[in-house]
A = this chain, B = another copy of it.
Amino acid sequence: MNPLLIYRIVCKDLKSELRGKETINFMFLFSFISLLMFNFAADPFSPALTEVGPGLLWFVFIFTGMLGLSRAFIKEKETGTLEGLLLAPVSTEDILYAKTFYNLLLMLGIQLIAFPLFIVLFNYNIAGSALDAFIVLALGNIAFVVVGSFMSALVMNAKSRELVLQIIVLPLLLPVIILTIISLRKVMIAGVNLLSIGEVKLIVFYVAIMAVLASILFEYIVEE
């Protein structure tokens, strides 16, 4: 692992993403609009909202993530620049770390905007601590990004691979998705303290396993 190289790749990604300086605005607008959409699903002040609120909130991130993350590798693949990276003496893990880190930056950026917005817009009353809820979301996002980045590298070459591989991508994410929802509901509806939620530990555990697996297996993904 070479932090300097990782930093340089992340900078490059940020730079080419931010070329239209508007991207941050885009992200803001986007999370704003998709949050607003949910208003129409239920009467905004009905108790049903308290019920489904955490789920909807988390869904916005999954959806945003799906949109954004898959691009990180696929774009480099399609424009052929991934080979440029692979030609340079950067270890394949570092490429994975850089992409994961970049994705994480994006997701946390969106979270920083969308989470307060959600609370204000829906006048949502979090039963537990707002910080706890934020941390749970962030954990979910980390898990999502770690697995998602790795898997998006996997599907990159999907054409020549077996169909089965693609079908693994989303289901692999399923545990995190569900664990996060459960934890989020415990914090936001039942007001449970973060540290006493078993699911949170499971998420951390899951991230750890996935991260280790990903760094071991990544080199098999990029080789052809």
Contact = CB atoms under 8 A, between A and B. Distances in A.
A47 to B, nearest CB: 7
A185 B39 CA distance: 13
Q: How many copies does the complex hold?
A: 2
Interface string A187-213: 000000000000000000000000000
A166 B51 contact: no
Interface residues of A, number: 58
Contacts of A79: 78
Contacts of A51: 41-43, 46, 48, 52
Interface of A: 17, 19-23, 25-27, 29-30, 32-34, 36-38, 40-43, 46-48, 51-52, 54-56, 58-59, 62-63, 66-68, 71, 78-79, 155, 158-160, 162-164, 166-167, 169-171, 173-174, 177-178, 181-182, 185
